[in-house]
Amino acid sequence: MEKINYPILTFILFFISISLILLVLSPKYQAISQIKESVDEWEKAHQAQSEYFKELISDSEKLKKYESEISKIDLAIPEDPSLPSFFNFVSKSASANGLILKEIRTFDLSLSKEIPGTEEIETSFTISGSYPAFRNFILALEKSARMINIKEVSFETPAGKIIPGAEGLFDFEIKVKFYSH
């Protein structure tokens, strides 16, 4: 009988077994590596999202300190342009200052170039009364919480309506611009 060379046979069997183990385990190792990479990516995304939410909470708490100032901005530039409430304010301010709101003309709504992200509403109206009352009315508009820009003012005496004792009455045509967001 022939003599078997055990060291060589052992080496060959060891090499075959290592090769089989690598062939079987290599795809599983790659799958596990891919899963680990996706878990790492998810953890990074989760961490970034957690930091983002912490930052939002921090910013929200900072904004709460300025709540009264923010409410003033909301009054100055409301979300809803609400023309009836604007003209109600104009009517009340006019009558409080001894003027009469005579006529409301058309309005124009457009995106503001001056204040990005807001709409500007331009309208005109006519009020009637004395110049001192008109001056007080303009001051009331300027002091109001709402952001109102007076673009143009013209005045004239009511034609053909000369009333004794009321010589100082004028019709004031006012063109204004106000904002909403």
Cβ neighbours of residue 22 under 8 Å, at least 6 residues apart? none
Domain ranges of the chain: 1-65, 76-180
Whole-number average pLDDT of the chain = 81
The correct answer on CATH 3.40.50.150 for the domain covering 76-180 is no
The tokens describing 19, both together, are 């090769």
For residue 71, the model assigns a pLDDT of 67
Phi, psi dihedrals of residue 124, rounded to the nearest 5°: -140, 155
Report whether pLDDT(1) > 60. no
Residues 90-116 pLDDT 10s: 888 899 999 988 888 877 666 666 767
Residue pair 90/77 in contact (Cβ under 8 Å)? The answer is no
Question: If DSSP codes are grouped into helix, strand and coil, which group holds residue 4?
Answer: coil
Q: What percent of the chain lies above the pLDDT cut of 90?
A: 18
Residue 3 banded pLDDT, cuts 50, 70, 90: confident
> Distances from the Cα of 2 to the Cαs of 5, 6, 66, in angstroms?
9, 12, 98
For residue 47, is pLDDT > 60?
Answer: yes
Q: What is the DSSP string of 50-112?
A: HHHHHHHHHHHHHHHHTHHHHHHHHHHS-SS--HHHHHHHHHHHHHHTT-EEEEEEEEEEEE-
Residues 134-167 pLDDT 10s? 999 888 888 877 777 888 888 887 665 555 555 6
Note if the pTM is more than 0.75: no
pLDDT tens for 4-35 read 777 888 888 888 888 888 888 788 888 888 99
